[in-house]
C-alpha cells in the first residue's frame, strides 16, 4: 500500500485560514492562568466579611452539613472573625499598594512569567484568585477574548488537596458551563515531587541559612493543615507533604531528624492532621532544641499564614517556651528559584500545544 504523506500544521499562528469576507476574530492563542487562594480587598470589617464568607462557604473547604454550618457561619463566625482577621492582615498589609502581600506577589509572578514567555507571541498570561478579586471567571473570559482557544489552568499548590486544587478547578469548570464556545482547558496537577521544585526549595533554604548568624538545630517544614476527616476520606495531601520533605532531605543530604513535617492554621474544634506546628514549636525548647528555622514548602507566595502566623505568632511561642533563635524562611515567591519552578511546570504542561 502506498504511504500518503500529510503535512501537520502547528496549532497556533496559522495564517490564511479565514476567508477574506470573514468578520474579525481573534484565534490561535494559548492562555496560561495562574490562580492563588485569594485575599480580602481591605482589612476593615466589610471587606474581611465578604472574603471570609466566600471562603468559608465553599463546600470543599468546610464539609460540615449546611444545616449546621450556615447558621454557625452567618450568625456567629462572621460577626466576630472579620475583626480578628482584619487585625492580623493589617500587620502584613502592603500599604504602598493597599493590598495583601499575596496579591502583590501573585501579580508579579504572572508579569515575570509573561515576560519570560514573550518570545512566543501566541502565549497570553493572566492571574486570578479563587476567593476575592480578580475572579477566575473574569480572567478566563479575558483570555478567550484575546483569542485563546486553549487555556492552561495553574492552581498554585504544589501538593494536591480537594480544598485547594480541586476547588480552583471547580470554579473554572463552573465558568465554562456558561460559555457557548468553550476553550479547551488543561489543569496543572500536583508537582510535590518535581525535581525542579525540590531543587528550588533546597537552594532557597540553603541561601537563607547562609544569611543567619546561627546554625538551626532543626528545620520545620510547615504545611497548611486539613481536618483529619478529609485524610480519612482519601485526600492525598498528607502524603504529598511528607513526600516533598523526604525528597528535600535527600536533596540536601541531611540526616534523619534535621527536617520535620508539621501542619499549621487549624480552624475549629475538630481534629486536624498532626503534628501541629504551634504545639511543636512550643515543645522543642524543652527537648533541648533552642535554635530553629521554619520553611513553608506548600505556600508558593508569602501570605498571612507565613508572615503573621509563622514569622510572628510561632516565633513568639518559641521564645516564650525558652527558645533562643528563630527564623522563618521566605517562600519561593517571585524569586529566581520560584520563577524557575513556575516556568518549568508551565512549559511542561503546554507540551503538545506549544
pTM of the model: 0.92
Q: Note whether 251 and 237 are within 8 A (CB).
A: no
User: What's the CATH fold of domain 195-328?
Assistant: Rossmann fold (3.40.50)
The tens digit of pLDDT for each residue in 223-251 reads 999 999 999 999 999 999 999 999 999 99
Please return the burial class of 139, using the count of CB atoms within 10 Å of its CB with bins 0-12, 13-18 and 19+.
Answer: buried
Decide if 29-191+336-349 and 195-328 have a common fold: yes
Vertex 107: Cα angle to 349 and 42 (nearest 5): 135
Locate the domains of the chain by residue range.
29-191+336-349, 195-328
pLDDT at 26: 75
| φ/ψ of residue 152, rounded to 5 | -95, 115
User: What is the predicted pLDDT for the residue at 105?
Assistant: 98
Residues 248 and 242: their CA atoms lie apart, in Å, by 10
- Per the listing, cell 496560561 goes with 32
CATH number of 29-191+336-349: 3.40.50.1400
Task: Tell me how crowded residue 234 is: count the other CB atoms within 10 A of its CB.
Answer: 7
Q: Residue ranges of the chain with pLDDT lower than 70?
A: 1-18, 20-25
Between the alpha carbon of residue 95 and those of residues 102, 103, 108, the distances in Å are 13, 12, 16
Q: List the beta bridge partners of residue 185.
A: 151
Q: 309: burial class by Cβ within 10 Å (0-12, 13-18, 19+)?
A: buried
Rounded to whole angstroms, how far apart are CA atoms 95 and 127? Answer: 21
Amino acid at each position: 500500500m502506498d504511504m500518503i504523506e500529510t503535512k501537520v500544521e502547528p496549532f497556533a499562528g496559522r495564517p490564511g485560514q479565514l476567508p477574506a469576507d470573514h468578520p474579525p476574530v481573534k484565534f490561535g492563542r494559548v492562555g496560561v492562568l495562574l490562580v492563588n487562594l485569594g485575599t480580602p480587598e481591605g482589612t476593615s470589617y466589610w471587606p474581611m466579611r465578604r472574603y471570609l464568607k466566600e471562603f468559608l462557604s465553599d463546600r470543599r473547604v468546610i464539609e460540615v452539613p449546611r444545616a449546621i454550618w450556615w447558621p454557625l457561619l452567618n450568625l456567629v463566625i462572621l460577626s466576630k472573625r472579620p475583626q480578628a482577621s482584619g487585625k492580623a492582615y493589617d500587620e502584613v498589609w502592603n500599604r504602598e499598594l493597599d493590598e495583601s502581600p499575596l496579591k502583590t506577589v501573585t501579580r508579579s509572578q504572572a508579569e515575570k512569567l509573561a515576560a519570560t514567555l514573550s518570545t512566543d507571541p501566541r502565549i497570553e498570561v493572566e492571574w486570578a484568585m479563587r476567593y476575592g478579586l480578580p475572579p477566575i471567571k473574569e480572567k478566563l473570559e479575558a483570555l478567550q477574548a484575546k483569542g485563546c482557544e486553549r487555556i492552561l489552568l495553574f492552581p498554585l499548590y504544589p501538593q494536591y488537596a480537594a480544598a485547594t486544587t480541586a476547588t480552583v478547578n471547580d470554579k473554572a469548570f463552573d465558568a465554562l458551563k456558561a460559555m457557548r464556545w468553550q476553550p479547551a482547558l488543561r489543569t496543572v496537577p500536583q508537582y510535590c515531587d518535581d525535581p525542579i521544585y525540590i531543587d528550588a526549595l533546597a537552594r532557597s533554604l540553603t541561601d537563607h541559612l547562609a544569611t543567619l548568624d546561627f546554625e538551626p538545630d532543626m528545620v520545620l517544614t510547615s504545611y497548611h493543615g486539613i481536618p483529619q476527616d478529609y485524610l480519612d476520606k482519601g485526600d492525598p495531601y498528607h502524603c504529598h507533604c511528607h513526600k516533598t520533605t523526604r525528597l528535600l532531605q535527600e536533596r540536601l543530604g541531611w540526616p534523619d531528624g534535621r527536617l520535620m513535617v508539621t501542619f499549621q492554621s487549624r480552624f475549629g474544634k475538630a481534629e486536624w492532621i498532626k503534628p501541629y506546628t504551634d504545639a511543636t514549636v512550643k515543645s522543642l525548647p524543652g527537648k533541648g532544641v533552642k535554635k530553629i528555622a521554619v520553611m513553608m514548602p506548600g505556600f508558593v507566595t508569602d501570605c498571612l499564614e507565613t508572615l503573621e502566623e509563622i514569622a510572628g505568632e510561632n516565633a513568639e511561642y518559641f521564645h516564650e517556651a525558652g527558645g533562643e533563635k528563630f527564623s522563618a524562611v521566605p517562600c519561593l515567591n517571585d524569586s529566581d528559584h520560584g520563577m524557575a519552578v513556575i516556568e518549568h511546570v508551565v512549559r511542561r504542561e503546554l507540551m503538545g500545544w506549544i
